[in-house]
Copies of this chain bind each other. A is one copy, B any other.
Amino acid sequence: MDTNTTSNEYVRGTLKTIVLNLLAEQKRMYGYEITQEVKERTSGAIALTFGALYPVLHKLEQEGLLVTESVEVDGRLRKYYSLTTPGSEAARTKTDDLERFVDAIRLLLAPKGLATE
Protein backbone atom coordinates (compact mmCIF):
# COMPACT_ATOMS: atom_id res chain seq x y z
CA MET A 1 0.00 0.00 0.00
CA ASP A 2 3.02 2.20 -0.29
CA THR A 3 2.93 3.90 3.09
CA ASN A 4 4.85 7.09 2.51
CA THR A 5 7.63 6.53 0.03
CA THR A 6 9.58 9.63 -0.99
CA SER A 7 10.02 10.04 -4.72
CA ASN A 8 13.22 8.01 -4.48
CA GLU A 9 15.24 10.55 -6.41
CA TYR A 10 17.55 10.92 -3.44
CA VAL A 11 18.51 7.26 -3.51
CA ARG A 12 20.59 8.13 -6.56
CA GLY A 13 24.20 7.60 -5.70
CA THR A 14 23.55 6.15 -2.27
CA LEU A 15 22.31 2.76 -3.46
CA LYS A 16 25.73 1.14 -3.66
CA THR A 17 26.57 2.28 -0.15
CA ILE A 18 23.23 1.16 1.26
CA VAL A 19 23.81 -2.33 -0.14
CA LEU A 20 27.39 -2.58 1.06
CA ASN A 21 26.44 -1.34 4.49
CA LEU A 22 23.58 -3.82 4.91
CA LEU A 23 25.78 -6.70 3.83
CA ALA A 24 28.48 -5.63 6.28
CA GLU A 25 25.86 -5.99 8.98
CA GLN A 26 23.90 -9.02 7.89
CA LYS A 27 26.72 -11.06 6.37
CA ARG A 28 24.56 -12.59 3.66
CA MET A 29 21.42 -11.39 1.87
CA TYR A 30 19.51 -11.90 -1.36
CA GLY A 31 18.14 -9.14 -3.56
CA TYR A 32 14.52 -9.35 -2.57
CA GLU A 33 15.53 -9.47 1.06
CA ILE A 34 17.52 -6.26 0.68
CA THR A 35 14.53 -4.37 -0.69
CA GLN A 36 12.34 -5.65 2.15
CA GLU A 37 14.88 -4.82 4.83
CA VAL A 38 15.34 -1.28 3.52
CA LYS A 39 11.61 -0.73 3.30
CA GLU A 40 11.13 -2.03 6.82
CA ARG A 41 13.99 -0.19 8.47
CA THR A 42 12.95 3.12 6.91
CA SER A 43 9.22 2.59 7.50
CA GLY A 44 8.66 2.70 3.78
CA ALA A 45 10.52 5.96 3.22
CA ILE A 46 13.05 4.28 0.96
CA ALA A 47 11.80 1.71 -1.54
CA LEU A 48 14.46 0.24 -3.76
CA THR A 49 13.43 -0.82 -7.25
CA PHE A 50 14.69 -4.05 -8.74
CA GLY A 51 15.66 -2.34 -11.94
CA ALA A 52 18.14 -0.30 -9.96
CA LEU A 53 19.15 -2.89 -7.40
CA TYR A 54 20.09 -5.84 -9.59
CA PRO A 55 22.40 -3.93 -11.90
CA VAL A 56 24.16 -2.56 -8.82
CA LEU A 57 24.52 -6.02 -7.30
CA HIS A 58 25.92 -7.37 -10.56
CA LYS A 59 28.31 -4.48 -10.83
CA LEU A 60 29.58 -4.90 -7.29
CA GLU A 61 30.10 -8.57 -8.02
CA GLN A 62 32.04 -7.76 -11.18
CA GLU A 63 34.20 -5.36 -9.19
CA GLY A 64 35.01 -8.16 -6.78
CA LEU A 65 33.31 -6.57 -3.79
CA LEU A 66 30.62 -9.24 -3.56
CA VAL A 67 30.43 -12.97 -4.13
CA THR A 68 27.30 -14.99 -4.70
CA GLU A 69 26.01 -18.42 -3.83
CA SER A 70 22.78 -19.76 -5.26
CA VAL A 71 20.50 -21.79 -3.09
CA GLU A 72 17.24 -23.42 -4.05
CA VAL A 73 14.51 -22.73 -1.54
CA ASP A 74 11.02 -24.10 -2.14
CA GLY A 75 11.74 -24.65 -5.79
CA ARG A 76 12.74 -20.99 -6.20
CA LEU A 77 16.24 -19.84 -6.84
CA ARG A 78 17.68 -17.60 -4.22
CA LYS A 79 20.97 -15.86 -4.82
CA TYR A 80 22.85 -14.84 -1.71
CA TYR A 81 25.34 -12.01 -1.83
CA SER A 82 28.12 -11.49 0.67
CA LEU A 83 31.12 -9.20 0.99
CA THR A 84 34.64 -10.11 0.00
CA THR A 85 37.57 -8.66 1.93
CA PRO A 86 37.85 -5.66 -0.39
CA GLY A 87 34.07 -5.43 -0.16
CA SER A 88 34.22 -5.05 3.62
CA GLU A 89 36.84 -2.37 3.23
CA ALA A 90 34.69 -0.55 0.66
CA ALA A 91 31.67 -0.82 2.95
CA ARG A 92 33.55 0.92 5.74
CA THR A 93 34.91 3.68 3.51
CA LYS A 94 31.66 4.37 1.73
CA THR A 95 29.59 4.31 4.88
CA ASP A 96 31.93 6.86 6.45
CA ASP A 97 31.69 9.02 3.36
CA LEU A 98 27.92 8.84 3.37
CA GLU A 99 27.81 9.77 7.03
CA ARG A 100 29.93 12.81 6.32
CA PHE A 101 27.76 13.70 3.38
CA VAL A 102 24.60 13.44 5.45
CA ASP A 103 26.14 15.74 8.06
CA ALA A 104 27.04 18.21 5.32
CA ILE A 105 23.49 18.14 3.97
CA ARG A 106 22.17 18.97 7.39
CA LEU A 107 24.50 21.97 7.52
CA LEU A 108 22.99 23.13 4.25
CA LEU A 109 19.40 22.54 5.25
CA ALA A 110 19.75 24.20 8.63
CA PRO A 111 19.03 27.90 8.22
CA LYS A 112 22.24 29.89 8.14
CA GLY A 113 23.27 31.26 11.47
CA LEU A 114 21.62 28.59 13.58
CA ALA A 115 23.87 26.46 15.71
CA THR A 116 24.28 22.83 14.67
CA GLU A 117 22.75 21.74 17.96
Contact = CB atoms under 8 A, between A and B. Distances in A.
A89 B30 CA distance: 40
A53 to B, nearest CB: 14
Interface in A1-36: 6-7, 9-14, 17-18, 21-22, 25-26
Given A10-B17, A98-B109, 11 more contacts: A6-B100, A10-B97, A11-B101, A18-B105, A22-B108, A38-B108, A41-B107, A46-B104, A46-B108, A95-B109, A102-B106
A51 interface: no
A21 to B, nearest CB: 6
B21 A97 contact: no
Contacts of A12: 12-13
Contacts of A21: 108-109
Interface of A: 6-7, 9-14, 17-18, 21-22, 25-26, 38, 41-43, 45-46, 95, 97-109, 111-112
